[in-house]
């Protein structure tokens, strides 16, 4: 009987199997949601991906296609969204610090909850870690309800499992949400 995929990786635990990078002991797999709806959103997302690629502690970045999505629990123009799968040696809070530095570099402000933004980088999953602190909750608590998160995750790995189920089934449940691949 085959081992079922681990939550968050869609594969065997990080550091083993085909996801293990030679010479990368202690590497973790993290999944990041990317979004923007102010300014030149596409250019900002592309620059953020480059910033991730060159960030200390990040060894590899794989990015989904970009998707145009309607705002959910937010306002303003349509969003562009994507997801990235990263191989990192950082711990979850250090990775969050890196993501927030990249957001700040691209003009991210937080005037109020769910405000339109130049860049949003959300740490969605980190290996099989479950964490609930004032700074960070992983797995991300609402990703299973949001087509703008699920479509890019499904694009990267249709077999990825979240605590609520596989991303393909969860995405079908969000079919009424406006998500269009570019």
> Which residues are within 8 A (CB) of 79 and not within 5 positions of it... i.e. 6 or more apart?
35, 36, 37, 41, 68, 69, 70, 71, 148
Q: Which of 51, 85, 108, 157 is catalytic?
A: 108
Identify whether 178 is a catalytic site residue.
Answer: no
51 is catalytic: no
Burial annotation 155-170 (CB, 10 A radius, 16+ → b, else e): bbbeebbbeeebbeeb
Terminal CA-CA length for the chain: 39
Q: Which of 19, 51, 85, 117 is the catalytic position?
A: 117
172 is known as an active-site residue:
no
Q: Are strands 120-126 and 79-88 parallel, antiparallel or unpaired?
A: unpaired
Q: Annotated catalytic residue: which of 19, 51, 85, 120?
A: 120
Rounded CA gap, 145 and 128, in Å? 20
166 is catalytic: no
User: Phi first, then psi: what are they for 91, rounded to 5°?
Assistant: -85, 170
Catalytic residue among 19, 51, 85, 122: 122
Q: Tell me which residues are annotated as active site.
A: 108, 117, 120, 122
């Amino acid at each position: 009987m085959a081992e079922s995929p681990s939550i968050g990786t869609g594969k065997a635990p990080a550091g083993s199997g085909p996801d293990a990078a030679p010479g990368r002991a202690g590497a973790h797999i993290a999944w990041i949601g990317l979004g923007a709806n102010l300014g030149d959103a596409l250019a900002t997302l592309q620059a953020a991906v480059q910033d991730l690629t060159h960030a200390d502690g990040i060894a590899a970045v794989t990015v989904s296609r970009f998707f145009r999505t309607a705002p959910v629990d937010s306002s303003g123009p349509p969003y562009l969204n994507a997801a990235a799968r990263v191989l990192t040696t950082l711990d979850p809070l250090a990775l969050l610090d890196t993501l927030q530095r990249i957001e700040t570099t691209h003009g991210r402000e937080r005037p109020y909850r769910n405000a339109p933004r130049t860049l949003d980088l959300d740490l969605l999953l980190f290996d099989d870690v479950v964490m609930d602190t004032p700074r960070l909750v992983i797995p991300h608590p609402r990703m299973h309800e949001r087509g703008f998160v699920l479509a890019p995750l499904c694009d990267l790995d249709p077999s990825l499992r979240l605590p609520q189920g596989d991303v393909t089934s969860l995405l079908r449940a969000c079919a009424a949400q406006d998500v269009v691949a570019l």
